[in-house]
Each structure stands twice: as structure tokens, then as C-alpha cells.
Amino acid sequence: MKNIEELLCEQCPEGTYHFFNKLKKADLRFINENKIIRQYKKGSVIFSDGKKPQGVYCLREGKIKIFRRCYDGREQITRIVFPAEFMGIKAILSGNPYSVSASALEDSIVCFINKTYFFQLMVKYPDFTKSLIVTLSKLLEEAETRMVSLAHKPVRQRLAETLLFLNRSFHNTAPAYPRPYLNITRMDIANIIGTVPETVIRLLSEFKESGIIDIKGRKIFIIDIHRLQLTANLRD
């Protein structure tokens, strides 16, 4: 990974677009001087449910999964975090311990901001706070939509819907694969849609045979967006 001491908030492309453009340079400089930057290897835990929050986390690079442990020990992934998105805001606003856990889906870089200073930013910058409220509202809406999907849609539709979501936000490229692809384990997909990996593997094979996707090892390439939307029972 790169030298994390060189990672400044004002040089974070996604963060500048969403949040940091609302802060004065002096406050950005203060964040840079006081934030803690941590590197997490794939699978590492960022925070765990039941722990008391001390601040908020902002993802600089990589991807993070937010999940809960089910009664049978399985994970239920409730959210995937992308660069410039915050984690742990609900916990510090409520004052309650974390109700979920977070771990790295891939090697990631995360910035930690102490809650005292984060509250100061919220008070000082109404537009910053407004952006946070909008973000939290969108997360709530997504959670409600997912609850309806899990409750009423068959697993085939849930898988197609999840692949569309991942394709919009979560894809990679590599020299050997210049086309965007999804790089996520079948277990994690199963934990997102609420099923078992064997079902995911079977349905992905069916999608591949139908020409909707292509598969190279763990990599998933979306070939036919329109047919995937039809499978998910979504409108264009």
C-alpha cells in the first residue's frame, strides 16, 4: 500500500465531492493533523458489535462490509461501504454500542475521526450536517428496500437485484481483465441476499448459461444488464 501519511482529506476525490468541500481549509488541516489512518488487510475487523464507539470511520480506499451475526452464526450483510462513505455515525449519534460489525472485503485504508471533533464539525457546518442527514436517509431507504426484497422476492430475483447494485458501485479492472468485473466471494453474496453459497453458485451458473453474465474464477462480468433487470423484476 502507499504511504498513508500522504493521504490528505482535500486530495480524496470522492470525499471532496461529497463532504470535504463544505469545510474550510483550516478545518481540513486540523482533521489531517488529528485523524488516525489505518490499513486493514482483507478480512480484518474494523469494529465489532457491542463495542462502545469513540468516533467515526471514513473509508479512503477499498471496500468494507457491515454485518450482523445471526443466531446460527452466519453473517447477514446489511451494507457495503465504498470510498468516502462514513461508518459508525448511527452509533455515536445514538450514544449506543455498535449494533453491527465491520470488516474489510479487500485491503483497505480507513480514516478515524474522534467523535468530539466530529460533533464540532456538525455544529460549525450546517451544510456538512445536512449532507450527513441526506446520506443517513438514503441508507435507511436502502435498508427498507432490502427488507421488502428479502421478505417478498424469491432468491433468484434477489440475486439479480444484488448483482445490479454491485455492478453500479462495486467493480474492478485489471490488466488481464480490462472490462469491469465484480470480485466478491459467493459466501458474501449469499450473506447479502439471505441464502446459502450453494444456491448462489447454482443460480450464477444458470445466469452464465443464459448469457446474462460471464464467470472467470471468482470474477463476475455482467453481460446483459437489461435481462438482469428483467430477472430482478426491476424497471429500466
Instruction: For residues 131 and 157, state if they share a domain.
Output: no
Residues 129 and 190 in one domain: no
According to the model, what pLDDT value does residue 211 have? Answer: 95
CATH label of the domain that carries residue 217: 1.10.10.10
Which domain-ending residue is among 150, 185, 212?
150
Alpha helices in the chain (DSSP H): 13-18, 25-34, 89-94, 115-124, 126-152, 155-169, 186-193, 197-209, 225-232
Q: Rounded CA gap, 37 and 42, in Å? A: 16
Q: Are residues 161 and 138 in the same domain?
A: no
Instruction: Write down the pLDDT at residue 183.
Output: 87
In total, how many domains does the chain have? Answer: 2
- CB 199, CB 181: distance < 8 Å: no
- In which domain, by residue range, is 218 found? 153-232
Same structural domain, 132 and 211: no
Where a domain ends, among 150, 182, 203? 150
pTM greater than the 0.85 cutoff = no
20 and 133 part of one domain = yes
User: Is the same domain home to 131 and 165?
Assistant: no
Query: For every one of its 236 residues, what pLDDT tens digit does the chain have, with 9 covering 90 and above?
Result: 456 556 777 777 666 566 677 778 888 888 888 899 999 999 999 999 999 999 999 999 899 999 998 877 788 898 899 888 899 988 998 899 999 999 999 999 999 999 998 998 889 888 888 888 888 888 888 777 777 777 788 999 999 999 998 888 776 655 555 678 888 899 999 999 989 999 999 999 999 999 999 999 889 999 999 999 999 886 54
Quickly list DSSP for 110-172.
EEEEEHHHHHHHHHH-HHHHHHHHHHHHHHHHHHHHHHHHHHHS-HHHHHHHHHHHHHHH--E
Joined together, the cell numbers standing for residue 91 give 452509533
**Does one domain contain both 205 and 187?**
yes
Please report where in the chains the cell 486493514 appears, as a residue: 40
In the block, cell 470480485 appears at 183
